[in-house]
Structure 1
Amino acid sequence: MIRVGLVGIGAQTKENLLPSLLQIPEIQIVAACDVSLERAEEVKGYVRDVQVFKDVATMINIMGPDALVLACPPQAHRDISLMAIERGIHVFVEKPPCFTLNELKDMIDAAARKRVVTGVGLNFRFARPVQHLRKIAASEKFGRTMHVQINHYAGKPRAPMWGLSSTLRSFLLAQTIHSIDLTTAFGKDEHVTDVHSTVQHGTDAMLARIDITFSSGRSASILTGSMFPYFEFDMKVIGDRSSMLTLDNLWNITLHDAEISSQVVGGDKRWRNAWQPGPLDSGYVRSGYFTELTGFFNAIRSGTRFEADFESMIPTYQVIEQVCAAEVQPGVVATPSSSVTGVQQRSVANG
């Protein structure tokens, strides 16, 4: 049994994380913490014997949890994670885990020193359609992935968040972090070698194009921004055997295969093999929340790394830093080794 403390009892915890945790076997939620004790008390509607707190340090001292699950602003994720790690507590934080690459490296170093398991909530990566798409792309028949193309449309945020001064950094951390992370999920032991980006500003919104090259030669492109009237997420994965996978709005997958086309319907037709989640699939499995949390706790039990741990976020934060640096100095292409500190907002680690 893994004893878990929840920190930050807002909409994300109540609507997605807590319901998923309640479905995972051998998990005991022993404590809930929020600056609003009234919000923390709401957890008692799901877990009768849970203890509630307003201060994280007090919760840790009294309850001694094995792991924390956090859904807070990034400055709290950073500070509370560092405090918990020093006490040997495993930590899972919702995205984003922190503001900058330098902060992320500090968190990685602390976790390595204390040998704790870390995790970042990136439910897009663990959504059932994306998991299925990744499985197809990893097959020998599909071939080596050459390019990943993502259209990630959003209408917010259109102003700085979490005390930051940069709307661009806020948007990248709040939205595009999912897309950048997914471009890294189709390669193994790769690192970012080049990033080119352009950012266009409208009246109160932005449009960004990000092109990424990896050490294997694989490339990725992302079109994103807050200049859209609605949310939409589409993805294409291109293999070196004239195969292409498309993901429509995190739901429908279509495999276009030139070989099958020539064998079955002739070379002048486009062969499509379609897949989508079943109507009875659990919403939390389909959306990725159950799968990512299950993977995190399995990593704790086995003493292994979780797929989406702090260290796995290094390429994503390298891209974010370079996109922000390019906007500060237009026309200057930052190298992957560049260290851009950005704005750091310190806060009391009280959840």
Structure 2
Amino acid sequence: MRSLLIGAGGHGGDTLLPAACSAGLPLSALVDQDTERAKQLAAQWMIPQTYSSAGEVDPAVFDAALIALPVTEQAEHAAWAIKSGLHTFVEKPPAPDLEGLHSLIALARQAEVTCCVGMNFRWAEGVRQLVNALDSGRYGTARCVRVDHVARKPVDTFGPDMSLEASLFAAQGIHAIDLAEMLLPGTSSPAGQMISVDRGRLCSMVSSDAAAGTRVEVQFGSCAAGFHHSVHVTTSRGDVLSLRDLSELQLRPSGGDPHVAEYPGPRVLWRRSPASGGYAHAGYGPELAAFRDLLRTGTAPSHLARLEDLLPVYEAFDSLLKKEGLSWTA
């Protein structure tokens, strides 16, 4: 299998490239307009070929493309890869707006190729521990999920044609909404609002299913001094599973737990090891390994994100923008 990486900048060259190699997804070429950096990385990682643009590439000699570019360029290059018949892995966000996502989905169906999206929070070590706890059946099923994902950027737009709200979605919101949807799919009637803050943006969203008695709450923004992430899952048993900053998973047991009389406080189910780090902890390595397996065997875990999986995520934010009288574009 011959793959090429389009985009050797800070994320592509420093994160996706080594993560792909560590995941057993060898790269045969790098594409970047900074040819000196591309050649330097190619020499470092023993990659035989470099190109300054996708226009120089003969796609017939490749099987797959990995794409890690600025938000404003990703959809264009993903479309090129799909039209060229390449199985594609594009970092989030694959498109700058809902219309662009629909276009990519249509292209992928027409070309009959696989197009996956880099949603590394699905694969982060702490999230995998949380999912394993839920899948064990020991704590019941998820009934209410809350995800908080707040950082210090963006406070400026990612491009002249993108609104600051769309830039916030591209940086933080897409991860937060997607993670909540993955943990508790099927909720409907999303509602939300932009919260007034002095710096950056802050968005709060909620969706629910009254018949099933389930609820999803999401908050994401760019108003914090640093990165803060938390996930709280209340289960059908009344247990609460809490993941703090992707580093510690706690259980607050329900009153029906037979052990609460002995100790009613929280239990630590998992804590990140001091030796744990890098591409496996952040999710990039396992995610790319799953993409590799999908191409080789045709099967992969369900939480490997396809373009179609992000439709509810984009639709929820599109609904909020319309309600608030805002737009994807500047």
TM-score by length of 2: 0.91
Q: Secondary structure at the match of 2:259?
A: helix
Offset of 1:217 from its aligned partner? Answer: 4.7
1:223 aligns with 2:219: yes
RMSD, matched Cα: 2.2
User: Which residue type is aligned with residue 46 of structure 2?
Assistant: R
1:118 aligns with 2:104: no
* 1:173 aligned residue: 170
Could you list the structure 1 runs, at least 4 aligned residues long, displaced by more than 6 angstroms after superposition: none
The aligned runs of 1:245-260 (5 Å cut-off) are 245-258=241-254
Offset of 1:247 from its aligned partner? Answer: 0.4
* 1:335 aligned residue: none
User: Which residue type is aligned with residue 281 of structure 2?
Assistant: R
Q: 1:288 aligns with which of 283, 291, 297?
A: 283
Report Cα offsets for 1:229-255 as digits up to 9, x if no partner.
121101101101111100011110012
* 2:270 aligned residue: 275
Do the aligned partners of residues 314 and 49 (structure 1) sit closer, same or farther apart at CA in structure 2, a change above 3 Å counting? Answer: closer
Report Cα offsets for 1:78-116 as digits up to 9, x if no partner.
111122112210111111111111211121122122221
Offset of 1:265 from its aligned partner? Answer: 4.1
Q: Secondary structure at the match of 2:234?
A: strand
1:73–1:162 CA contact under 8 A, matched in 2: no
Q: Secondary structure at the match of 1:185?
A: helix
Offset of 1:161 from its aligned partner? Answer: 1.2
Q: 1:237 aligns with which of 225, 233, 237?
A: 233
CA distance in 2, matches of 1:211, 1:107: 27
Q: Which moved more, 1:279-288 or 1:98-107?
A: 279-288
2:253–2:260 CA contact under 8 A, matched in 1: no
CA distance in 2, matches of 1:186, 1:137: 9
Offset of 1:187 from its aligned partner? Answer: 3.6
- Equivalent residues, number: 327
2:85–2:113 CA contact under 8 A, matched in 1: yes
* 1:343 aligned residue: 329
* 1:71 aligned residue: 68
* 1:136 aligned residue: 133
TM-score by length of 1: 0.86
Offset of 1:271 from its aligned partner? Answer: 4.6
Report Cα offsets for 1:152-179 as digits up to 9, x if no partner.
2211101221333411111011111111
Report Cα offsets for 1:35-62 as digits up to 9, x if no partner.
221221122233334211111032234x
1:151–1:235 CA contact under 8 A, matched in 2: yes
Do the aligned partners of residues 264 and 187 (structure 1) sit closer, same or farther apart at CA in structure 2, a change above 3 Å counting? Answer: closer
Q: Secondary structure at the match of 1:264?
A: coil
2:119–2:305 CA contact under 8 A, matched in 1: yes
Do the aligned partners of residues 58 and 143 (structure 1) sit closer, same or farther apart at CA in structure 2, a change above 3 Å counting? Answer: same
1:256–1:273 CA contact under 8 A, matched in 2: no
Q: 1:38 aligns with which of 36, 39, 43?
A: 36
Do the aligned partners of residues 274 and 229 (structure 1) sit closer, same or farther apart at CA in structure 2, a change above 3 Å counting? Answer: same
1:235–1:247 CA contact under 8 A, matched in 2: yes
User: Which residue type is aligned with residue 42 of structure 2?
Assistant: K
List alignment gaps of at least 5 residues for structure 1. Answer: 330-339, 345-351
Q: Which moved more, 1:164-173 or 1:273-282?
A: 273-282
* 2:26 aligned residue: 28
